[in-house]
Structure 1
């Protein structure tokens, strides 16, 4: 029903407007008695065989919703009814910011992809915390954190620490987002020496809490083998809890859409089917090179159960969907979990 009826209607309209409309619709529907229970019955599979123990947490199933969908933690309770094993909110920055000028979100229908240059638009730390206080405990929550656009390079670490300290009581794990192509001073965020400094600072603050939270690093899919070797060395040396592979790509090769249309769209990060193989390669390389020394969350181009199994077979311990959720609908999560049960 989603792909044959709902999606064609939604795809007539601007992607960002549709996103806000869909959020409002889900919230309204869930206020109607029994609707959330019906949605949960339609899409959720409750089976202990799907449980995964990763970086000290028990996930009811390995299928999560990637960061960027519920930036401000306004809909995670309702979204949990669609069968997700975990939901990652953010990217959250200390101060709210509008992000890049619109239009900044584009569908590539022929390629089943999306290009975005949102620019960490979010309502800020205080708004996220206010929403997270409404957590009903239905699903594991990850906190994806970043820096404000206008923060000076010397203060980048302080931005991450501010978010980490404030969100610590409200999320189950953290993700340091240093690989988004839509933020300024991208080079410093990918410098190995700076990453060691940032990770060390966040880990030191983590020790101040009675209960430490897992910390992960989100990396780009465009890294070459030498850069991936550095990531493996970095994660092992700093004893990070894991890696998310991968973020969006700046590579435009192999797309069906015309070059003219791409030039009209302009810059931004590419997600969806076009980066499926690229992200899977990164997962496989990290897993094999490190001899599975750390957990990996695989994300990028998962539009089917087959895509999900490829990520897991490549070495991912958990997976996340985003663009696939938009193109395929909520049935995707159930389909993946059913396939996993068949394997069991």
Structure 2
């Protein structure tokens, strides 16, 4: 019987796989990877998943196996649920899904910026529709936390956008662990207008009312999160924070891709779409810190954007994130990144517990000393 696969062997395996995949057109490589992973989930679990340390976390009333999740966009249709779970993710976020299937924007629509360890995509919510996603979630073996990221169809007029979100919420209610409301993709015309105070207030109000009605009817309250863009100014962040608290959102996902092109080579500056990876890393961390300062512990934050090392993961945790999601980092670093980030998160959690315990002991000693002094006559 063959012995366990070493860490060096795992690294070499992904290096060879990446070289072949990067020789292909990016979207084709994307689909081939998901297809292969779906077919070989058991092998993926043996090679990668068993190496991910346990770091359980309570978030939104849900128990995550570890705080490193899959970001929305990589598996829009739930085609690879068991394969992605097998490589060690603590939770998965599928989508973005829309009520009706749509092809998305014209190809090519995914570009690798290898020197910048980044991607530009302008997929435009290409997906098979919400009913197809629901069927795949029901068929999956994975019984962990699955979030569903929801949006609107490109053909839906702005004044009817709420209807699309409501339709998706109702469709996924019984199979989702939580739902993320995507108002921040730059690839559907007018979608980011939903982040304005007036539009977001109306959208969240409608979704919360429908969720509460469904919770009463089904006997289960579904957590709701909101995903925002990194390109918002302080006034816009103030407005979002106020609405998250007012509508009692269960989490904030920060952040989506950016439309900024600062410091990119000239060849990429006019390429339309959302930029992810290392170029958005610093801004995403800034937004996490800014929103944590506004929200405190009232709304937990799931940090996303440019995580490609344990140090990147720790920076977002220190900025105020409770859990993390990766996508572009998985493309450039492979599944070993999950283990690396989960190990860093586990160590960070342990340090926080020690600090918290030390604080409790110090307070107890201070109270005891004060009580002793008070007893002296």
**After TM superposition, is the score higher than 0.5?**
yes
What residue in structure 2 maps to residue 35 of structure 1?
Answer: 43
1:121 maps to what in 2? 126
Aligned length in residues:
334
1:214 alignment partner in structure 2? 223
Larger Rg: 2
Partner of 2:209, secondary structure, is: helix
Which stretch shows the higher mean deviation, 233-242 or 90-99? Answer: 233-242
Give deviations 1:242-284, integer Å, cap 9, x for gaps.
11000000000022xx213433xx2100000110000000000
Q: Is the 8 A contact 2:38 2:79 kept in 1?
A: no
Matches within 5 A, 1:180-259: 180-208=185-213, 209=215, 210-255=219-264, 258-259=265-266
Structure in which a larger fraction of residues adopt helix: 2
Spell out the pairing of 1:50-199 with structure 2 (5 A cutoff).
50-199=55-204
Give the deviation of 1:341 after TM superposition: 3.2
Q: Where do 5+ consecutive residues of structure 1 fail to align?
A: none
Taking a change above 3 Å as real, the CA distance of residues 2 and 245 of structure 1, as seen in their structure-2 partners, is: farther
Counterpart Cα distance in 2 of 1:241 and 1:41: 28
* Closer, same or farther: CA 222–2 of 1 in aligned 2, 3 Å: farther
Question: Could you tell me the TM-score, scaled by structure 2's length?
Answer: 0.86
* Displacement of 1:342: 3.4
The SS at the match of 1:122 is coil
Counterpart for residue 20 of structure 1: 31
1:234–1:261 Cα change, 3 Å: closer
In the other structure, the counterpart of 1:280 is: 285
Q: After TM superposition, where is structure 1 displaced by more than 6 Å over at least 4 residues in a row?
A: none
Query: Residue 269 of structure 1: which of 265, 268, 274 is its match?
Result: 274
* Partner-residue secondary structure (3-state), 1:103: coil
Q: SS state of the match for residue 93, structure 2?
A: strand
Give CA deviations for 1:59-99 in whole Å, capped at 9, x if unaligned: 11100000001100111112111111100000000000000
Aligned-residue Cα RMSD (Å) equals: 1.4
Aligned position for 2:355: none
